[in-house]
Structure 1
Amino acid sequence: MSYHHILVAVDLTKDSHKVLERAVGISSRNENAKISIMHTLEPLGFAYGGDIPMDLTSIQDQLDEHAKKRLAEIASSHVSSENQHVVVGMPDTEIHRFAEENDVDLIVVGSHGRHGFALLLGSTSTGVLHGAECDVLAVRVGKKGEKTDE
């Protein structure tokens, strides 16, 4: 299987570098396949159930700017700025949408390899895997016993 366009979906934690590095390696073995990287911000209205009687637009804009800066810190050495994307929405839905609209043939995501109850609740990587039209690589992140940012 040869890949032409790889989408790296990151959560902006310190583990994001590890996920991107894996995609860079795959790209180099596939005639320097194009790499796009994205982070998805959930809308503040979703997080608070729409019950806050105030305009959250400026706060959402600040979160968006912070995410773009952090994504550039992570990606700038491997991914050009026009291929760095911060979108607002539900992560698995937005990753699937981007992949379909941009002819992505491999999605690379980080996975903490949760077990038991956390597995039943689901995760972004599980959601991406189950709805993807292309290959998905879940990169194990976080050391055993280590607390993560999620």
Structure 2
Amino acid sequence: MYDRILVPTDGSDCADLAVEHAINLADQYDAELHVLSVVDARDVSHSAPAISPQQVEQTLRERAESVVSDVADRAKDAGVADVVTAIEPGVPDDVVVDYASENDCDLIVMGTHGRTGLERYLLGSVTERTVRRSDVPVLTVRSHEEEAEEE
């Protein structure tokens, strides 16, 4: 059913829940797992004046490398044979949609971020924009906090 599963991650708790689902699905379907972290261009361009954009980008890239390496290790420990890691610069939803298309991924597994109020109205969310723009199915995984808020 699934040959290549993409899991974008930023290392957050919500993304980690999506990682668990993606690893389980990749193991179940013997699928190749693509682990992607995006170095958000907006974070680099809005850095503090005392810190150079290059320093910010380097710090974000190092964090991304740590996150994808950790996920790859977890996937291999869970029995996923084929794991591909990638770190890409750019706007997250653009990068996720393009990466899925360019790598023939047939499922994207993402955490929701549960934005509410004005922030969500103004910015939307990476997950919402990805769902709207993706040509492949997007499985969204809610955080425990979001589930608790609805109860």
TM-score grouping bracket, smaller chain normalisation: 0.7 to 0.9
Moved more, 32-41 or 51-60: 51-60
Is the CA contact (8 Å cut-off) linking 2:14 and 2:113 kept in structure 1?
A: no
- Residue 75 of structure 2 aligns to a residue in which SS? coil
Mapped to 1, the partners of 2:92 and 2:5 lie a distance apart of 17
Structure 2 gaps of 5+ residues are none
2:53 pairs with one of 53, 56, 60: 56
| Structure 1 segments (4+ residues) deviating >6 Å | none
Aligned-residue sequence identity (percent) comes to: 25
Q: By percentage of residues, which structure has more helix? A: 2
Who is 1:107 aligned against? 108
TM-score by length of 1: 0.79
1:105-140 superposed Cα distances (whole Å, 9 cap, x missing partner): 100100134455444331010011011011101111
TM-score by length of 2: 0.78
- 1:36 pairs with 2:34: yes
Is the CA contact (8 Å cut-off) linking 1:8 and 1:19 kept in structure 2?
A: yes
Give the aligned length: 141
Structure 1 gaps of 5+ residues are 146-150
Mapped to 2, the partners of 1:111 and 1:83 lie a distance apart of 23
Mapped to 2, the partners of 1:27 and 1:38 lie a distance apart of 15
Residues 1-150 of structure 1 correspond to what in structure 2 (within 5 A)? 2-30=1-29, 32-43=30-41, 44-48=43-47, 52=49, 55-78=52-75, 83-121=84-122, 122-143=124-145, 144-145=148-149
Q: How large is the RMSD of aligned CA atoms in angstroms? A: 2.6
Amino acid in the other structure paired with 1:110: G
